[in-house]
Chain A
Amino acid sequence: MRHWLRIAIPKTYMDRQRRAGFLFVLPALLFFGSVFLLPLGQSVVQSFYRNVPGGADQFVGLRLYEKVFTDSIFWAAVRNTLHLLFMSVPSVLVCSLAVALGLNRIASLKWRNVWAAMYFLPFACSLVAASLVWQWIYHPVYGILNAALGVFGIPPQKWLQSLTQVRPSIAAVNIWIRIGFDTMIFLAALQSVPAEYYEAASIDGAGAWRRLRHITLPLLNPQILMVCILEMIFNFKIFDQVYATTQGGPASASQTVIMLLYDTAFKYFRFGDASVIAVFVFVTLLVVTLVQWRIFRKPVEY
């Protein structure tokens, strides 16, 4: 407390410097406090209150949690989200790693940049536009995907309108959107691996697979962990893609957690229930990140 007072009324040069530093970060602190921390706290508080239209909010303890967590619709949304996530996260991880390894082998810098730019294009594109274009590709009657499969004699599929295919189809869109971003991260990491490691391994007679397994992958561990966390967060928070194409359908087969949150809050205006989901999302992502961090983070030495 004492040094805060000294900063508020500075007497020495050092105190003036400290005050200057604090004043420089103050706008950011105020903003983040009011836009993230305060509302987060409010979300938590609100999840204990039932709001009565036109009246004062009523404290109900954990009743809203009980209500949401015993609701089969909520758990169906969680299941759908996890299903989507488990389909797209491993795939995008493997695909982007493979592409990065391939790009890293292309000797011509110019061509490498051209190919990398093509993978990177979806990153610049809004999720809404991307999803709507994919919806057209997936169109059951006039879509080009069915037309292309028809060439091989495969009958038309319903894709986004099918109960079983809708989640894999959306997962594929997610992979398409994210592959460039992950590839860039892996490529940057690959380029910082010293070439001598591979030379030494070659001299020792290690083949391509063993070099990948024992040199490249261990050195890329931090990036793999990070991409994994980022992808899990991205996929868990999936909203735009679903809202723009299926709106959660058919028959709620693609209803995700954030879709449910949006509907609960802004379609049915049940802010208490929505706050419970909001707290659930926050806690889940926090736990997932911290657990992955603890388990998989190994020190890497170059």
Chain B
Amino acid sequence: MTASASSRDLPERGARWRWAAVLFVACGALTVFFPFFWMVVTSLKTPPEIIRVPLQVAPDNWLNLNNYREVFQRENFIRYLFNSALVASIAAVSSLVVSALAGYGFAKFHFPGRDAFFLAIVGILMVPFQSVVVPLYLWVNRFGLLDTYLGIVAPDLVSVFGVFLMRQAIEVIPNDYMDAARIDGCSELGIFFKVILPSVKPAIATLLIIKFMWNWNEFFWPLVVVNSPTMRVVTIGLMSFTNIYFIEYNLLTAAAVISILPILLIFLCLQRWVVQAVVMSGLKG
């Protein structure tokens, strides 16, 4: 837009600006990308290679996957991946169901206190999770949920963002659709499943993806509730490759690649939805 405006009256200057922009953006992008490149390269090196002086960028053997094998041998990483996937899936699905129900209620019904309740829910965004973590820990402890899947997933079963997103999406569905279904004798819950949910598929996809991603990457709460090695999620599992002395970065980076890869694949395939979610969460301000 800026480019088209300036290129129309000053073609040469516009073109030069555009190339400067491309150069700037490309340099920045490569800088941002570099740590990923370096992570993969390091994960392909042997221990003597990573401490070689002077430093050599390329690994001796680009197909050296020994580090990956050793990650799975040394730690129960399959289990960690499974735990993360399970916890993140439960959190995503549960928050979808509860958020969609609440979003429908807020968008299409009038009841006393509706707007106040909605404001209260949005206000929860102001409560940092760390401010409630001690009482939550004590509750989870009292119910004997430390070191259980339910304990790990408990605070993430619903998301404020989800309620907000679903309300936005459901609000634009014409009321006629619901009224038509009512006339046909459909129950309110039936309308929700047969009319509302099929109309907001993009929002559903967005919420599932972003919530899965957030919970896959969650660290603070699992750190508090998880003790036993079998219940570790990948973010906690990664930490077991660190110690205060020398860290075996070839193994650590291999583990990091393993932990990031699933989420990165989802992210790259479904980037459109993620960007939409970010913009949604961004434009609400």
A residues near B, CB below 8 A?
3-4, 7, 17-25, 27-29, 31-32, 35-40, 42-43, 46, 95, 98-99, 101-107, 111, 115-130, 132-137, 139, 141-142, 144, 147, 176, 179-181, 184-185, 188-191, 193, 195, 198-199, 201-203, 208, 211, 216, 222-223, 225-227, 229, 233, 237, 239-240, 243-244, 258, 261-262, 265-266, 271, 274-275, 278-279, 281-282, 285-286, 289
B16 smallest CB distance to A (angstroms): 11
Q: For the complex, give the distance between the alpha carbons of A101 and B242 in Å.
A: 40
Contact A189 B33 (CB under 8 A): no
A133 smallest CB distance to B (angstroms): 5
Contact A126 B217 (CB under 8 A): yes
B131 smallest CB distance to A (angstroms): 4
Asked if A121 meets B18 with Cβ closer than 8 Å, knowing A271-B134, A282-B131, the reply is no
Contacts of B57 in A (CB 8 A): 144
Contacts of B39 in A (CB 8 A): 133, 136
Contact A285 B128 (CB under 8 A): yes
Contacts of A134 in B (CB 8 A): 35
Contact A136 B252 (CB under 8 A): yes
Chain A contact residues: helix, strand, loop or mixed? helix
Contact B35 A133 (CB under 8 A): yes
Contacts of A121 in B (CB 8 A): 32-33, 36, 264, 267
Q: How many residues of B contact A (CB 8 A)?
A: 100
Asked if A202 meets B109 with Cβ closer than 8 Å, knowing A39-B135, A188-B282, the reply is no
16 A-B pairs whose Cβ atoms sit less than 8 Å apart in the complex: A21-B108, A24-B104, A31-B98, A32-B120, A102-B28, A118-B29, A118-B33, A129-B256, A132-B242, A133-B36, A134-B35, A136-B252, A139-B249, A185-B279, A258-B130, A261-B130
**Given A129-B256, A137-B35, A282-B131; 7 other pairs, CB 8 A cutoff:** A37-B124, A40-B127, A99-B24, A104-B1, A181-B278, A211-B2, A261-B133
Contact A281 B130 (CB under 8 A): yes
B74 within 8 A of A: no
Contacts of B50 in A (CB 8 A): 142
Q: For the complex, give the distance between the alpha carbons of A29 and B119 in Å.
A: 11
Contact B109 A119 (CB under 8 A): no
